[in-house]
Structure 1
Amino acid sequence: MDFFNLADCNTCGKHSILVEKEIPSHNKNTRLQSIDKQNNNVILSQKFIYPVDNTISLVPPASNSMPEDVRSMYNEAASVFELSPRSSAALIRLTLETLLKKHLINDGKKHNLNTMIGMSNMEQPELVTEFMDMIRKEGNEEVHPEYEKLEHEWGNITKDTNKDQVLYMFKYINSICDLLGLVTKMHNDYKALPESQKQAIHKRNAKYNTK
């Protein structure tokens, strides 16, 4: 059973929330944040859940190439990672939808995520599309569990969230933005080349592309 305690700081007057969890002492796989007391049968673990200490977060910072509105959603996903990795995964999936809908597709029409990834496939490097599909897959598994993974007809989810996989979702969306930023810079730099150099490149490519 979990017990929640509200604590007040005597110095600043701010509130903190502490959760206490009773864990069988024979459970050697349990990683405890701290130990308050222990007897022959039970260990009482304690952990502060509010305020969240973002200084120890495993989530990488947002890419410098990430648009501001996308970055805002990314940071929201990062802020809840320690409390709820499943919620974090759902928000990263929504972060990808925002990137596609507002910055890559942006045709004013309503599309689902799978369709938008397909629409962007012709314009983006294959690696970018693969990262997108991995985010879609992991996000779907967290927010749309299959019926076989439910405990009974009332819908209790029994699938545990894989925190490492959720962390990779953050890395994937960062890599997408890094690659898109790099491709955009490359295209701009290429356009700035003297016309004589671009013609020489075109002539070379034509020589080796004839079949």
Structure 2
Amino acid sequence: MAATHATTVPHATTDAPTSSQVSGPASDPASGPASNGRRPVEMLRRRWPTALAVALVILTTADGSGERADTVGAFGDALPLLPLLYVIIHQVGNPRVTWPVLGAGVAVMVALRAQDVVSQPVALVAIALAVLVWGAVRGTPLGRAAFGVQAAGAFVFGALALVGLAVDPDLGRYLVAAGWFFHGVWDFVHLKLDKVVARSFAEWCGVVDVLIAVHLLFLV
């Protein structure tokens, strides 16, 4: 009986990678070079108020050739605008008007600087007081407690500006710097609480205020 020799055919082995072998760092879209390039863009998109604030302060303070008294006077004149914006926006009761109110405030400040009938900081403080009286009579959309906080802020920051402008510039710069610095703290508290003003404005204004305070203390 003829012996039949079974021939075994070896099974073909394939080295094709499995799905678990394919996945790796190179295939992770979040870890590629394109992702690394997007991170600064995403960060800038989220933190644009900070970037805008830094650029504004650099442009504003780049020319350091002015006299100390002039620099202190310029920032002291502008300081009452900060609490005035909060008072007006609080009384309107809608954070969406924050940036338009800022634009109107800057326009008023430019108009006041163009005349010599009334002092700019005195006029800004007077406008803030008028809005506070309006709120006390008409009522306030955010409640009496919030109204009282804004009134206290207008009084404190306005007083720091007026006193800082009235005393010797060497002392005045510390008072004006304190006003800018503590208003920066004021901004960041409102940013944390997400109340009264737009979050983008609170971040922008807070960075501007702190940087100007540092400029007044160490660079003037």
Of Structure 1 and Structure 2, which has the larger fraction of its residues in helix? 2
More strand by share: 1
Q: Tell me the TM-score normalised to structure 2 length.
A: 0.31
Q: Which has the higher contact order (CA 8 A, sep 6+)?
A: 2
TM-score using structure 1 length: 0.31
